[in-house]
Amino acid sequence: MPGPPRIGSVTLRLLDSRTGQKVPFEPIGDGPVGLYVCGVTPYDTGHLGHAFTYVSFDVLHRYLEYLGYQVTYVQNLTDVDDDMLRRARELGEDYLQLGNRHLTTFLAEMAALNWLPPDRLPRATQHIPQMQELIRSLLANGNAYAADGHVYYSIASRPQFGELSHLPREAMLPIANERGNLPEMPGKRDPLDFVLWQPSAPDEPSWESPWGPGRPGWHVECSAMSTAYLGAQFEIHGGGQDLIFPHHEAEIAQSEAASGLRPWVRYWLHAGMLSYHGEKMSKSLGNLVLVRDLLATYSGDAIRHYVVSHHYREAVDFEETDLEASATQAALLRRACRVAEEFEPLAPALADPSTLDPTVAEHRTRFLAAMDDDLNTPAALPELHALAALCRREVPREVMAQAGWMVRELVSAETRPGGPTADDGDELVPVSVRLGTVVPPEDPEDWRRPLTWIAAAGMLLAPALLIGWFAIGRPVTVARPEPGTWIIAGALVLGGVLTGTTQLRPMWAAAATLGSALFAALLVVLYAVAASPDVRTGGFSPPLAQALTAAAAGLGGALASATLMPAFSRMPSRARRGLAPAAIGMAVSAIIVRLLLSA
């Protein structure tokens, strides 16, 4: 593990949401640094907003370890709450099975983004005794009360309630109601009093308790689980900015009241929210940018670079052009690492800073200073790219090697600082110390990507069907359309839309749709010409006439589909973006076939 002399005078400062101040980071004691981040409620598909939060805290996790701290990172799973049970009820699925299914997807997607798994990933359903113990303490201390099978936290018992969110009381209730609070629940003394325990509905899971069978409230889950693994006081608690109130405010109130220790958490950090076309990403608006869709087109490196190109507290409006730029920049960082290995294959990833070339040392110093300033990754990245640029310039070989190795140190040195590099056969697969970017042995091949195969299938669908049609039985008339004509025309449209849906940018999707249909139509016509000897004397045989009709109709339908593609670009999945344009385009192609070859 690199020690303090390597880091020099760098001192990490973090912006604490509770005080609103940027303060030096100081651990509470000599033990591991406690880091708790509110995790997912796995009842639905994750999106880029989730990835933004968890990659941001992964950078913090890695940075703390690089500075020499031992970290215990805990991230919970809310596998029982109102949203979880509502969704399970809608699907007719067991709530635990639903959670396991979406959790598997979430973990796979985060692994693709090179996210270091937390040391602990506790489930709420496995910590009911700890929650009940916390509730008993609150009742004994006079901070909670039981009513009609419910237990509520009394905010009147805490004068400091609101110190994290800095909200006036009149602003609290509307926000709390929007985020799950029910002011008219039985026995409440104050509409803002929040649930610690509640009776379960007949179709909901239930646990025995001193207050009757039921289930825990949302807020008490995180307090119990974080305290179980990190103690009554720990260093850092994080999550998205939408959790500041009421969730994190409630956590502080109940945790400090139960233990009598203050502060419960020394630093509160909150990640910014991600929007799309100026609106918050949400399933109801149909504007989710899914990680799985992005991974079909872009590498995990590109997505991770996109995340760290924004400050973790920044509100970000997603633009795919920014992600495309990140893909290019991530590739340049990979090349710099390979250059270093080629020049100095045995050089240590963590070189002695005192031996560095002044230019390399200066970029390193600026990188550390930026990261030290509340994880200012947008300011740190240019220093990495400046180092990578040295690997492409006419500089002494030693400087080029140092620059490449410094990129590798600051971006992708070891699985964990001081630990062994992951070994996959004869290939090293290192991951990041600082920003977590994967550095694969070589650039990914385009033909390995699933969407590339989909695009190829789209361009070849109609020609393949035409070849099959002519092999089974050629057209025999030019007076009316044959079944194969309708099929080929529709296949040109469908193939074009398939290709178009591989692109996320609306205009690129339209261009890909039309371009694919044009390419396929050209192949259809060329094959028909080759298969029609009468064309050499100027005649139009039935096969050529039907093929030309299908090509013209298919192009007309594809033009209609391409025109519609931008209007459906906000649909939440690629399939939905292409469904309506494909259906309308195929209908247009059918009309054109009928007009060209009317009986």
Query: Within a domain: residue 434?
Result: no
H helices present in 165-316, as ranges: 169-178, 218-230, 249-259, 291-297, 300-308
pLDDT of 382 reads: 95
Range of the domain at 101: 4-297
User: What's the pLDDT tens digit per position in 48-83?
Assistant: 999 999 999 999 999 998 888 999 999 999 999 999
pLDDT of 450 reads: 58
Q: Are residues 270 and 334 in the same domain?
A: no
Total number of domains in the chain: 3
Weakest mean pLDDT among 80-89, 466-475, 571-580:
571-580
Q: What is the mean pLDDT of the chain?
A: 86
Query: Within a domain: residue 264?
Result: yes
Contacts of 121 (CB under 8 A, 6+ apart): 39, 74, 75, 76, 77
For the cut 80, the answer to whether the pLDDT of residue 445 exceeds it is no
* CA 290 remoteness from chain centre: 7
User: What's the pLDDT tens digit per position in 259-274?
Assistant: 999 999 999 999 999 9
User: What's the pLDDT tens digit per position in 288-336?
Assistant: 899 999 998 899 999 999 999 999 999 999 999 999 999 999 989 988 8
Token code pair at residue 403: 């620059």
Q: Are residues 227 and 363 in the same domain?
A: no
User: What's the pLDDT tens digit per position in 328-383?
Assistant: 999 899 888 877 777 665 555 445 778 889 999 999 999 999 999 999 999 999 99
Residue pair 234/226 in contact by the 8 Å Cβ criterion: yes
Q: Are residues 276 and 323 in the same domain?
A: no
Q: Are residues 502 and 563 in the same domain?
A: yes
Token code pair at residue 477: 């008339």
Model-wide pTM > 0.95: no
What is the spatial order of strands in the sheet that 150-153 belongs to? 144-147, 150-153, 194-198, 215-216
Query: Within a domain: residue 523?
Result: yes
Query: Within a domain: residue 531?
Result: yes
User: What's the pLDDT tens digit per position in 140-199?
Assistant: 999 999 999 999 999 999 999 999 999 999 999 999 999 999 999 999 999 999 999 999
Query: Within a domain: residue 311?
Result: no
Q: What is the DSSP string of 146-179?
A: EETTEEEE-GGG-TTTTTTT---HHHHHHHHHHT
Which among 368, 397, 428 is the end of a domain? 428
Q: Are residues 27 and 55 in the same domain?
A: yes
Q: Are residues 293 and 345 in the same domain?
A: no
Residue pair 153/138 in contact by the 8 Å Cβ criterion: yes
Query: Within a domain: residue 313?
Result: no
